[in-house]
Amino acid sequence: MKNYVVKNILIPIESNFDFSNLIASKFLINQNDVLDVKIIRKSIDARKKYNLKYNFTLFFSFAGKIKPHHDLMMYSKPIPDVVPHKFLSNHSPFIIGAGPAGLFSALSLVEKGFTPEIFEQGDSIEERTKIVQNFWETGNLDLNSNVQFGEGGAGSFSDGKLTSRGRNFYTEKILDYLIKFGAKPEIKFEALPHLGTDGLVNIIKNLRNFLIEKGVKFHWRSKLENFKISQNKLVSVTINGLSFSPEILILAVGNSARDLFQLLYDRQVMIESKPIAVGFRIEHPQTFIDEAFYGKKVDINLTGHASYRLTHKLKDRGVYSFCMCPGGSVVAATSELNSQVLNGMSYYNRDKKFANSAIVVSVNANDFGNGILDGVHFQRHIEKKCFLKNYPYYAPVESTDSFLGFDKNKKINSSYNPGVIKSNLKNIYQPQITDALKSALIKFDKRIKGFISNGLLLAPETRTSSPVRILRSRENFASLNVENLYPIGEGAGYSGGIVSSATDGYRVASIFVK
């Protein structure tokens, strides 16, 4: 018996289907001998909007001979990396941050019999949700617990996307755990799986309760304020004014941990600046996006709401859509006073009127300077520039038509709370960045007719990724110059999104043994 993977099993979306029969017909083999069929991937082929099809990749077992085919390959079971183990004498290592990287590093440690302690500067997801809702309604910003900081990380107020660049042993492990803690099994094979903010919140609660049952201790409102290094080793940390001497410190912070980036720089921990991307959020009526991809007659219950992924290049500068949220809303996401930042969010059902996405352009040292923290300063400058003093945390907006110099008198409709103010967005960024955004929008309109005339731009989108990377060893994941410091996840510059952050945390923590 051999195991195979077959790609490009195309089926009209309104058809009934028998996978074993489809495989047998494709390869001219006996259907009764096609065994253990499982879905590996399911996507929608929308190249012909009035003839939509599901496109499946399937696993199956077969004992006979099959002729070679370009859609057929042998199945290889994912295996973990071979990594050197590090023995710990203290069974309660410290983790800073309770986002995906921190939570799943704790889970990995629990599997080895450890009882880590997690220190999070924000609140538990229940309390954090109340605080964030209050901010959206009143503008009362909590600097420690907000959309960026708190249990679950920034992804807790997003679309809960579970996309990853590839599948391996670790990503499969993460998806299996997410299902265990409440996600639907379809996340294992959907091409664009998502949890929604509501789904993610419940999963985080279940994961936290599991970790507590295993002896993990959570410390809320607990900020890493300082640390001391001696002879290339972390010897003490200060958290809420208290001093500790952990054997190791797993640093699992998010990409908005600017105070910590400054502290690392001041303590001469090896970090480097890295490219980021900045731009706007764009909103469209979800019905427009659905019709653009699927036509007017499609049953959305079968397809789900349409989404898009767009890219463009102007000279050596990339522009792309990022974090597209069908049926969602644009939300205030700042973590600093007198500062304006946006993010996209949706619930599992994606049933709101608007679709939104970041449209961002890549920027680097040529745009913001060669200093290690210049990317941070660049982000902060944009966010301060977009803050409207007379309308705190309102979003400056402009119709896409107006931004490109066309119709300037369009009516403004947006999902954003507390509100929006018509503004001139053309002067927010340097001319070369603005020109790249304009060029991309014109290109995107050719791909999705009406993308410009139906769009509304909101400013700014700046927190797409970490502006720094905390340098670590490829062999043992430790900081290059602090042997017991382990930077992981998005804030450290090694992931982007829920799955990749959780995977990095789980993988790094798997090296530790008693």
How far is residue 494 from each of residues 468, 488, 508, measured CA to CA in Å? Answer: 10, 6, 11
Judgement on whether residues 268 and 281 belong to the same structural domain of the protein: no
pLDDT value of position 381: 98
Q: What is the DSSP string of 86-106?
A: EE-S-SS-EEE--SHHHHHHH
Q: pLDDT at residue 145 above 90? A: yes
Interhelix angle 258-266/374-385, nearest 10 degrees: 150
C-alpha 151/C-alpha 121 separation (Å) is 9
Across 14-18, 45-49, 170-174, 194-198, least confident range: 14-18
Closest by CA position to 485, among listed 32, 95, 79: 95
Rg value, the chain, Cα: 24
C-alpha 231/C-alpha 229 separation (Å) is 7
pLDDT value of position 49: 85
Judgement on whether residues 441 and 300 belong to the same structural domain of the protein: yes
pLDDT value of position 409: 78
- Bond from prior residue into 418 cis (ω within 30 degrees of 0): yes
* Three-state SS at 474: coil
pLDDT value of position 167: 81
pLDDT value of position 176: 96
Instruction: State the CATH number of the domain containing residue 113.
Output: 3.50.50.60
Question: What global pTM score does this model have?
Answer: 0.95
Mean pLDDT within 277-305:
95
Q: At 366, which helix (H) or strand (E)?
A: helix 365-368
Mean pLDDT within 211-231:
98
- For 388, counting Cβ atoms within 10 Å of its Cβ (0-12 exposed, 13-18 middle, 19+ buried), the class is middle
Closest by CA position to 251, among listed 121, 80, 111: 121
Q: What confidence tens digit (pLDDT) does each residue in 99-109 have?
A: 999 999 999 99
Domain endpoint, select from 50, 74, 98: 74
Strand partners, 3: 61
What phi and psi values does residue 224 have, to the nearest 5 degrees? -70, 115
CA 251 to chain centre: 18
pLDDT value of position 356: 97
> Does 79 map to a domain?
no
Judgement on whether residues 156 and 205 belong to the same structural domain of the protein: yes
pLDDT value of position 15: 82
Q: What confidence tens digit (pLDDT) does each residue in 350-366 have?
A: 999 999 999 999 999 99
> Does 487 map to a domain?
yes
Judgement on whether residues 285 and 268 belong to the same structural domain of the protein: no
C-alpha 507/C-alpha 312 separation (Å) is 33
Judgement on whether residues 20 and 122 belong to the same structural domain of the protein: no
Judgement on whether residues 174 and 316 belong to the same structural domain of the protein: no
Judgement on whether residues 200 and 293 belong to the same structural domain of the protein: no
- Bond from prior residue into 100 cis (ω within 30 degrees of 0): no
C-alpha 323/C-alpha 392 separation (Å) is 25
Instruction: State the CATH number of the domain containing residue 60.
Output: 3.30.70.2700
> Does 434 map to a domain?
yes
Domain endpoint, select from 440, 461, 482: 461
- Taking the alpha carbons of 323, 179, 510, 485 in that order, is the dihedral positive or negative? positive
> Does 492 map to a domain?
yes
Q: What confidence tens digit (pLDDT) does each residue in 317-342 have?
A: 999 999 999 999 999 999 999 999 99
Q: What confidence tens digit (pLDDT) does each residue in 469-501 have?
A: 999 999 999 999 999 999 999 999 999 999 999
Half-sphere exposure of 131 (CA within 13 A, CB side): 20
Output the average pLDDT for the chain.
95
pLDDT value of position 427: 94
pLDDT value of position 127: 97
Judgement on whether residues 257 and 288 belong to the same structural domain of the protein: no
Q: What confidence tens digit (pLDDT) does each residue in 36-94 have?
A: 999 999 999 998 888 899 999 999 999 989 999 999 999 999 999 888 899 999 999 99
pLDDT value of position 17: 85
pLDDT value of position 477: 97
Judgement on whether residues 145 and 132 belong to the same structural domain of the protein: yes
Mean pLDDT within 380-405:
97
Mean pLDDT within 304-316:
95
Mean pLDDT within 449-454:
97
Judgement on whether residues 166 and 58 belong to the same structural domain of the protein: no
Confidence bin at 408 (pLDDT 50/70/90): confident
Domain endpoint, select from 18, 39, 74: 74
pLDDT value of position 411: 86
Mean pLDDT within 442-457:
97
Judgement on whether residues 425 and 362 belong to the same structural domain of the protein: yes
Q: At 342, which helix (H) or strand (E)?
A: strand 342-345
Half-sphere exposure of 151 (CA within 13 A, CB side): 24
Mean pLDDT within 270-299:
96
Q: Going edge to edge, which strands form the sheet with 485-487?
A: 217-219, 117-119, 94-96, 249-251, 485-487
Q: What confidence tens digit (pLDDT) does each residue in 13-29 have?
A: 988 889 999 999 999 99
Mean pLDDT within 124-134:
97
| Residue with token string 């304009």 | 438
Percent with pLDDT over 70 in the chain: 100
> Does 168 map to a domain?
yes
Tell me how many domains the chain contains: 3
Q: Tell me the pairing of strands 317-332 and 354-363.
A: antiparallel
Judgement on whether residues 67 and 90 belong to the same structural domain of the protein: no
pLDDT value of position 50: 85
Domain that holds residue 260: 86-272+466-513
> Does 80 map to a domain?
no
* Three-state SS at 145: coil
Q: pLDDT at residue 466 above 80? A: yes
